[in-house]
Each structure stands twice: as C-alpha cells, then as structure tokens.
Amino acid sequence: QVHLVESGGGLVQAGGSLRLSCAASGDTFSIYTMGWFRQAPGKEREFVAASSWSGVTTTYEDSVKGRFSISRDNAKNRLYLQMNSLKAEDTALYYCAATTAPGVSSYKSAYRYWGQGTQVTVSS
C-alpha cells in the first residue's frame, strides 16, 4: 500500500506561482510513476502532469506546458508541481496519484493510489 498526502495549495492572484508537494509513504519502493490530476467544480478529473520514478520521463497536459513543472525527490519520497503564470482556469482541487505499473500515463485508470487533494484557487 502507498499513502499520499498533498500540500501547498492556496489562494493566489492570476500570474502568481504556487508549489504543490506530495509526500508518499508505505511501499514507495514499488512506485513506478507519479502524477498530478485536478478537478474543477462540475468537471471531470483531468490529467496535469506525470513523471517516471527516475524523473527522466515526464509528460504534461497541453494547457500547462511551459507554465508547470513536475519534479521528484526520491530520497524524501516527494513529488512536486511548480506552477507559474497561474490563470483563473487553473482553479481546482489538485490530486497526487501513483502507480506501480510501468509507463508514464495520463489516464486516471492507470493510477492505483490517490491523495485527498489540495485546493488551488486563482483569483482574476
């Protein structure tokens, strides 16, 4: 089992930055890929970014490319999401996710473990 806890959300003005953090515990040795998803009110949960355990392979949703950056600190069992140039449409509950399956996926169904989420609100 893997337990994930997100932190770092908050209220920020448009154009500002936030850094989300996800702490993993439990059977972290089994994790292959970790990612971030988000869900706005009344919308489906959508993919944001993902990284292989090594950090060599990353992938991003098109709307966040060039603004968001995903990174990992395996020594600390942590995943990060640096979010810059935030827009009102980035407002959502952000979830950390992990999978033991190989491959860096953007599909929700590929991820077995989920955190409870951290709220990001961007005011325009």
Closest-CA residue to 68 (of 20, 106, 103): 20
CA-CA distance, 11 to 21, in Å (whole number)?
Answer: 16
Q: Give the SS3 label for residue 88.
A: helix
CA distances from 113 to 1, 5, 16 (A): 8, 11, 30
pLDDT in tens, 14-27: 999 999 999 999 98
pLDDT in tens, 79-91: 999 999 999 999 9
User: Using an 8 Å Cβ cutoff, are 77 and 93 in contact?
Assistant: no
pLDDT in tens, 102-121: 889 999 999 999 999 999 99
User: Over 90: is that where the pLDDT of 30 sits?
Assistant: no
Q: What is the pLDDT of residue 73?
A: 92
User: Over 90: is that where the pLDDT of 92 sits?
Assistant: yes
pLDDT in tens, 32-80: 899 999 999 999 999 999 999 888 999 999 999 999 999 999 899 999 9
Report the DSSP pairing between strands 10-13 and 118-123. Answer: parallel
